[in-house]
Structure 1
C-alpha cells in the first residue's frame, strides 16, 4: 500500500534487486538480513506466474514456493509494480551488523521494577536500528468522510463494474490510502490497473480482510502491521517507545511488538510506518506522544497481541 501521510507524489527510485541496509546504504537484496531471494521481478501488465517462471528458468511450483502470498494455482493476485522473488538465495546473513544495547546508568536503576524489567529485557535483545523515522498510516473509512457538500462518484473495478457510490472526498482518500471500508460488509482495495475515474478497485472479503491488504496481498492488522523497505518481511520487531501506550478503540495497552508485513513507495530506508486503522487514531496517538524517531530491536519472544 502507499503509506504516505500527505498529498505529495513520490516515485520509486530503488532498483528491483536493491534496498537500504541497516546503515542506509544500498545493498543487493541477497545481502539483506535473512533474505532468501537473490533476484526480484517488478510486475508489469500481462505478467503471469507461468510467464515469470519461464522467463527466469524456474518451475511454476518454485515460483509459488518463493512467493507464498501468491494464490497457488490461480495466480490471480499479482499486482502491477509489486516485486516478486524469481531466484532463490542461500540465506546469507553475514551482511547485517547489529549493535548491543549499552547498559543503563544509575538513573535506570532507581526506576520502578516494571521499568527495570524492560531495561533488562532490552539488554538481552539485539538493536537492529537506532532512531529511524516513525510515521502512521490507516484505512480510509467512509464514516470519516461524511461531507454532504462533496459530490457523489462511482468507484468501480478495473473492468468497469460499479462497486459503490461514495463521496468524492472519500473516493480520493481510497486512492491515496489504497484500502477503504465502505461499510461493515464492503471493503475495497486498489486493484492491479491504472486508476482512472475511480475504476481501479477490487472488493475484498469483508470478514477475512476487514482492514484492507498490504503490498504483499496479506490482511492489514491494526497496531501490529508495519511497513518497512529495508527490513525483511515477516520480521518480528520490538519498539520500546510504544510499550505501554494506551490504544484508541481498545482496552489493551501496547506491548511494543510489531511485524513487518508491508512496504511503502513513499519513502526509502530507515523508516517504519505503523498501521493504526483509523485516521482519528493517528491524530490521537500523535497528539499524545509526538514520536517521530524510534529504536528497533529484534522481536525475540515478544507476542503479537490482538488489539
Structure 2
C-alpha cells in the first residue's frame, strides 16, 4: 500500500514520518490506535481537491515513525501533544483546521484547550473522551498482562489482532481487500508486537481525557464537528451524544452502517461532511 507519509523529521530527538499534500488552507489529520496515517488515504484526495493543504504524520511509536526502545519516552496521548507542536513548527503552520480520530481526538482536545488561538476548526471522529476508554474488550485483554501478550507466538498474535481489527468496521470484506494486512503488519512481528504494547496499549489510560473533560465547554469557542459511526463497537455512540452536549454549538453527525474505523466504512460520506464543514465554518 502506498503511504501518505513520504518524509521524515527529528522532533524532540525522535524520528517522525510525515507528508504534505495539496495547496491552500492548512488541515492537519491525526490518526488513532492501532492505525496510522493510512486511515486517511481516501479522505486526503477529497480535501486537496477542495483546495486544502493537508498535513499528515504517524504518531510517535506508530506506523512508519520511530518505535523508541527507551520505555521512558512518552508515547501517551499527553506525550503526543509536543510531537504535534513540533510538526506544526516544522511545517510552519500556526492557523489550522484539525481533524482527529480515536486517541488522536484526545491529542487534539488537549492541544485545542492549550492553544485555541491556533485553531480555525476542530473535527473529531469516533474519538476518546471523558473516561470512554479503553473499551470493554480491550480492558479484558489487558488483564492478561502486557508481558504475556508481548511474548505470545506471532501466529496467535496475528490471529487475535486480525479479529480485533475486523471489529472496527461494518464492511469487513472491504477492510480485508484494502488495508487490513497493512494495519496488522504495523503491530506484529519482532518490532511491531512489542511496540504495540509498549507504545499503544499500556497508554490506554482515560486520565489523558478525563482530566480535561471539565473544560470541554471551552471548545465551544471554536467551530466543532463530531462525526460518529452508529455501529462503533469501541466507542459506542452514547459517547458521541455526551461529547456533543458538552461542547456548545457543536455539530453532530451519526453515520449508519459505520463502525469505529469510520474512514474505512464511509470515506465518501465523511469526506463530504469534512469539506462542507470546512467551507461553512472554517474561514478566517
TM-score (norm 1): 0.27
Higher Cα Rg, which structure: 1
TM-score between both structures, scaled by the size of structure 2: 0.29
